[in-house]
Structure 1
Amino acid sequence: MGSAAPAFYGRRVPLFFNPLEAAAHRLSIAPPMFDYFNTLGLHALVAAARLRVFDALRERPSTADGLATTLTIDPRTAEVLLRVLAGLGYLRVKGGRYRLTRTSRTWFTTDSPTSLVAGLEFWERTACVIWPRLAEAVRDGSPVTPFYELLESDAALSRSFQAWTAALARRQAPATARIIPVPRDGGHVLDVGGSHGLFSVELLHRHPGLRATVLDLPQALEAAADHPRLTLRAGSFLDDDLGEGYDVALLFNIVHGLDDQEVAKLFARVAAALNPGGAIVIGDQFRDSLMPGRASRTLLDLLDLNYRVATGGRVRDFREVARMLRAAGFDRPRHRRPLRSVVTELAVAVVKSPSRP
């Protein structure tokens, strides 16, 4: 499932306490309403994107009345929505005119290469359909509605999910591609569950002699990028033949969606598909990573809970992943942290050569 934390849980929006507000919260002078209002903030953000508020302000700053006229929306309600978006950090206001912040321009204008607008249906469905059944999942220890089965049966949700993951991949792929080990004379990459294929495409741009194959379910491959050295194969990476003779295998945002038995099975299948000395590259989050503060640790915990609720998977320690890799026949697992890829870290290991014990 997708790699980053925003909005899976009624997103912790960029709303900050001043000292007086923080004291009132800590002393319980005010009721603990911020998590509820964070959910309302998510809906305000989604509504603004759907109404094309951010696209309109990309063209020019505007007053609430001017924006209401441009978008044919109610001016009084628009004024309140714009104030909310400014309070959440998505807009700035000066002299009554609203303008975009860097955050909204990067993520919520439709012409941005990292636009998340097409992924907002996924955000809403996760927060409003899957998470309300959290109590059932916690009681039973298994997802109520397996997420990947849901994607295969719902084309609109699948498109939105793939758009979300592709937007993040466009941001992360250049940083990760720089440290992925690739044979100097070319070779063949297997992109396991790679859907959009953007991590493979970035490698193909950097290595002219390289070829890549993306293996994923048919619905997911509809979002795949086009490249003359990229081959798409529809199938299940747990059940269908992976092929053989690969030099690198990519598993980006795959391991957290699987239970332990499935991870062990997949690692063994990938080891058999790689040439001796071939590398497996896992892009994911790891629980034992250094976190800068309580907010980051809590976001990782929420993401872990999201995986358990939606897929039956979880966030694992790098040390646990390393043990599972060794058990599957891999050697020298390493933990890599690409710059400018703060939500995805790498576990890299190689298949043991026949001469190695």
Structure 2
Amino acid sequence: MATSASPQPPTPERFFNAINAYEQTEAMKAAIELEIFTAIAEGNTCAATIAKRCQGAERGVEILCDYLTIHGFLTKEGAEYGLAPDSAFFLNKGSRAYLGGAIEFLLNPRIREGHARLTEAVRQGGSALGEGALEPDNPDWVRFARAMMPLMFMPAQVMAGELAKGGAVNKVLDIAASHGLYGISVAKQNAAAHIYASDWKNVLEVARENAQAMGVADRYHLLPGSAFDVDFGGDYDLALVTNFLHHFDLPTCTAFMRKVYASLRPGGRAAIVEFVPNADRVTPPTAAAFSLVMLASTPAGNAYTFQEIESLSREAGFVRAELAPPPIGLGRLIIAYR
């Protein structure tokens, strides 16, 4: 007769792993700064040769590499280390998909301080840092544009391909353009399209440089200033609202999308890219957990479900909103139709 497995006794392991999770952050930061992953990709596979390549002590490198192996970033056979598939693709400087530079933004002091003061944020329902991240010409957004750009190449291309299914576009508004890759990718797929990029003046310098480097500068126009205040103009076929709405509460998002609606021609579309949790707000994990980032870093931002974005789009005047099937990196694409 089969017997059910005995339940596992309570263990403090999850608590200790959570409390010590900062160790993994610092280990990853050190490995990227030392170029551990790149060194292994170059053929340095034992602690001694990795240490020589990375200008570190053999003992320190061995302990760090063992720690990275424990957490799945490296493999180990005997004394030889190798790269896990994700590390080979994203953390080797020789890879076209290298993401290590993203630590310049993701681990900047202001973001870390926001999480360090999370108890205050929970008590007051918003960041203990106040409006800082949303202040005009905040240099953090230049850092974001440069550091996060490699992460956005593939999502921008996927989004542009999905939008191309709805037909060609000639006039495109790119809101909070940042690095500019979303608008530039649309321009590359639509030879006649002119892109009008809105962001802070200092951030638009990064977008302008990228438009020049990618051969669309003659069709790339700048609209510097706050997206809430700048005159977008009108008659756009397409408006890109990428990774923007999560910084604000729902009433602010609704009011802003009314402005977007007014900028579009009849039949125009708004392409919204966001982290989109399910209605339970705890799945999928990465999208759902993004709400905590917004709690720590913004006064009232959040990760919104598709139902919430669909509702605010309709309230703003759009006739319908659809969730596109492919993931856009870690986010999702929602297309709202005027």
User: Scaled by the length of structure 2, what TM-score is found?
Assistant: 0.86
Is residue 2:317 matched to residue 1:329?
Answer: yes
In the alignment, what sits opposite 2:4?
A: none
In the alignment, what sits opposite 1:303?
A: 290
Find the aligned partners of 1:222 and 1:333 in 2 and give their Cα distance: 32
1:45-84 residue pairs with structure 2 within 5 A?
45-84=28-67
User: Does the C-alpha gap of structure 1 residues 152 and 111 become closer, same or farther in structure 2, counting only changes over 3 Å?
Assistant: farther
Contact 1:61 1:99 (C-alpha < 8 Å) held by counterparts: no
Contact 2:97 2:151 (C-alpha < 8 Å) held by counterparts: yes
Q: 1:94, CA displacement in angstroms? A: 2.5
Find the aligned partners of 2:127 and 2:105 in 1 and give their Cα distance: 17
Aligned residue type for 2:326: P
SS in 2 for 1:250: strand
1:187-206 residue pairs with structure 2 within 5 A?
187-206=170-189
Give the count of matched residue pairs: 322
User: Does the C-alpha gap of structure 1 residues 289 and 111 become closer, same or farther in structure 2, counting only changes over 3 Å?
Assistant: farther
Find the aligned partners of 2:80 and 2:239 in 1 and give their Cα distance: 50
Q: 1:121, CA displacement in angstroms? A: 2.8
Q: 1:105, CA displacement in angstroms? A: 2.1
Q: 1:177, CA displacement in angstroms? A: 1.6
In the alignment, what sits opposite 2:126?
A: 142
Q: 1:147, CA displacement in angstroms? A: 5.0
Aligned residue type for 1:268: R
Q: 1:259, CA displacement in angstroms? A: 1.7
SS in 1 for 2:290: helix
Percent identical? 25
Stretches of structure 1 that go unaligned for 5 or more consecutive residues are 1-22, 352-357
1:267-346 residue pairs with structure 2 within 5 A?
267-288=257-278, 296-311=283-298, 312-339=300-327, 341=328, 343-346=330-333
Find the aligned partners of 1:178 and 1:290 in 2 and give their Cα distance: 30
Q: 1:196, CA displacement in angstroms? A: 1.0
User: Scaled by the length of structure 1, what TM-score is found?
Assistant: 0.82
Contact 1:271 1:328 (C-alpha < 8 Å) held by counterparts: yes
SS in 2 for 1:307: helix
Cα distance per residue 1:326-348 (max 9 Å; x no partner): 22121121121215x35211221
Contact 1:120 1:160 (C-alpha < 8 Å) held by counterparts: no
Q: Which has the higher contact order (CA 8 A, sep 6+)?
A: 1
Root-mean-square deviation (Å): 2.5
In the alignment, what sits opposite 1:234?
A: 224
User: Does the C-alpha gap of structure 1 residues 147 and 93 become closer, same or farther in structure 2, counting only changes over 3 Å?
Assistant: farther
In the alignment, what sits opposite 2:336?
A: 349
Find the aligned partners of 2:204 and 2:84 in 1 and give their Cα distance: 33
